[in-house]
Amino acid sequence: MYSAIVFLPLIGAIVAGLFGRAIGARASEVIASTLVLVSAFLSWVAFFQVGVGGAEGRIEVLPWISSGDLATSWAFRIDTLTAVMLVVVNTISGLVHVYSIGYMHHDPHRPRFFAYLSLFTFAMLMLVTADNFLQLFFGWEGVGLMSYLLIGFWYKKPEANAAAIKAFVVNRVGDFGFALGIFAVFFVFNSIQFDTVFAAAPDQLGKTITFLNWQIDILTLICLLLFMGAMGKSAQFLLHTWLPDAMEGPTPVSALIHAATMVTAGVFMVARLSPLFELSETALWVVTLVGASTAFFAATVGLVQNDIKRVVAYSTCSQLGYMFVAIGVGAYAAGIFHLFTHAFFKALLFLGSGSVIHALHDEQDMRKMGGLYRLIPITWGVMLIGTLALTGFPLTAGYYSKDTIIEAAFAAHSGIGMYAFVLTVVAALFTSFYSWRLMFMTFHGTSRSSPDVLKGAHEAPPVMLVPLLLLALGAIGAGVLFKGLFIGDGDGAFWRTSLFTSPSNTILQDLHHVPDWVVWAPFVMMAVGFLTAALFYLLKPSIPVALARAFRPIYLFLLNKWYFDELYDALFTRPAKRLGRLLWKVGDGAIIDGLGPDGIAARVADATSRIVRLQTGYVYHYAFAMLIGVALLATYFILSGGAP
């Protein structure tokens, strides 16, 4: 069954990619979508067998690499964490596949698109079923490659190509640290098998290693290097700049990348490696710091964005920060629980945004929308459900998972925990404001669309609406249905050995005993954000305009995403270009070409071209030259006194 779960999407990718032209676009999309849906159904079966029934194990597929001390097989690690991720990846991917049949119906390159989607899914499945670091890295790089291809799918658009390259390059920065972390694991433990490394990790407590001429704690170094990869893949603060630009890809790609696959890989990786991170307080401190900072930063930027997909993208970035906060304070189960629920309502918001864009003939600017709830009422309804879940409205999925993380941050009773608590509560306020801002600007108020656009506005076809309705059910029920399993009373029985916590880690029990004001804080922030957005965009639309003018520097600071792109352009891009131009013009052109092809080589060529002219092939010319030579030799002897 597990081989089918992993390899069915690969088969779909092969069929659509290699035989798409022969069988046609319709057959390609139907076959690829059907195989992923079958994989999704089997994933739910596995979830109840493993997560509920406890049927954990290891399945070896084939021997893979044997070189010196490095020996590893391709195997599936079957435990609760794997089962949860299989459900998330395949369920969201299957619904995105079906949705794409309607959304991409006009595109002439549908076979290639569905091949990329299925191959993306296969790479993520390779990642979440990994039994060793090398297999994890294989899937890790696979989703990176496929994200590059999907973001740049419309490669004739310069913006799409630039966004794809940006995502690829920024992730290479994080992956450089990730690769160093894997090298360090093999250097220290002489193995890359998870079980072997986890069993030997406690023996390395307190030991140091020389790194860049510093003595650094071994486990801390390994964890920080590995987390550097997570920062890139999950778009955390400082390595986040690629994520909003990924919107240049088709909307289904945004849903797949932002909800269930690539961006959650970092969260999954840190949770999978909890036996290592749990042994390094410094590493967990850094994870919490980065996660909380990301949650706050992305939420502030989302306040003023006008592109409907970018608002949802920055929301993703912020929610990933919440997940890392949970992991950083030791509440691994809470982090994965939010990953699970977030997949449903975030995919719903992205695909709902796609339905809006589809209705308005590719318009994405919310300033050119308004009053759409009458024209596309079903899309309005599912977007409303997704917004309620994202903002943490009681009884929705986000209410259970996001609020649990905020409570866990407070229950940590540490300086970094309080830092995370404050920032996540403030981020909850901002999340509510920009989410309702999106709803009000898009669906309510006076229409700002042109008459031609409104005349052709229409509801999405059933093939797009059915996935939206199913995701809406998940956005409502995923929290209440699965909270008992994922978190329960904090005993961690559901996770068994897939998530490791030290005996002193009682965070899951402690979060159930925080003060009432902590429990109510996210709800209050949600309500304040809703009321503020309603005032700004329904009752007094002139207020945000006046505020933007009165606080223009702050407004521009947020609108330009804290100027990180400009900062990186000044620090890295422009110096790199100047260095490249210097090496090109001076190093290559003036020095190498000047001394080489255009210098010595050119002079030698000129001299030889003249000398070659003496070689005429006529005997009398050579006889005459010999005569001249004899005459010169005789003259020399005469002038020198006649003796050699």
Neighbour count for residue 367 (Cβ, 10 Å): 9
Supply the pLDDT for residue 584: 84
pLDDT mean over 543-550: 92
| Concatenated DSSP letters of 7-71 | HHHHHHHHHHHHHHHHH-HHHHHHHHHHHHHHHHHHHHHHIIIIIIT---EEEEEEEEEEETTEE
pLDDT at 406 over 50: yes
Structure tokens at 237: 């603060």
pLDDT at 490 over 70: no
Residue keyed to tokens 């289904």: 252
3-state secondary structure of 519: helix
31-79 pLDDT, tens digit per residue, is 999 999 999 999 999 999 987 777 888 898 888 888 888 888 899 999 9
Q: Comparing 74-83, 171-180, 211-220, 608-617, which segment has the lowest mean pLDDT?
A: 608-617
Distances (CA, A) of 357 to 287, 353, 459, 516: 36, 6, 11, 42
Supply the pLDDT for residue 225: 95
Supply the pLDDT for residue 644: 47
pLDDT band at 503; cut points 50, 70, 90 = confident
pLDDT band at 432; cut points 50, 70, 90 = very high
pLDDT mean over 565-577: 90
pLDDT mean over 276-284: 94
d(CA 320, CA 296): 11
| Concatenated DSSP letters of 481-502 | HHHHHHTTTS--TTTTTSS---
pLDDT mean over 196-202: 94
pLDDT mean over 549-565: 93
Q: Of 189, 333, 168, nearest to 257 (Cα)? A: 168
Supply the pLDDT for residue 379: 93
d(CA 348, CA 356): 12
Q: Comparing 37-41, 329-333, 496-500, which segment has the lowest mean pLDDT?
A: 496-500
d(CA 569, CA 578): 12
Handedness of CA 428, 429, 430, 435 (dihedral sign): positive
Q: Comparing 126-135, 157-166, 466-475, which segment has the lowest mean pLDDT?
A: 157-166
Supply the pLDDT for residue 259: 63
pLDDT mean over 274-303: 95
214: enclosing H helix or E strand? strand 214-217
Structure tokens at 324: 């890392």
pLDDT mean over 498-505: 88
3-state secondary structure of 209: strand
Looking at residue 337, its amino acid is F
Using alpha carbons only, give the angle 380, 382, 388 rounded to the nearest 5 degrees. Answer: 100
3-state secondary structure of 216: strand
Neighbour count for residue 562 (Cβ, 10 Å): 14
pLDDT at 640 over 80: no
d(CA 529, CA 433): 4
69-122 pLDDT, tens digit per residue, is 888 889 999 999 999 999 999 999 999 999 999 988 888 889 999 999 999 999
Q: Is 349 exposed, middle or buried (0-12, 13-18, 19+ CB in 10 A)?
A: buried
310-322 pLDDT, tens digit per residue, is 999 999 999 999 9
pLDDT at 613 over 90: no
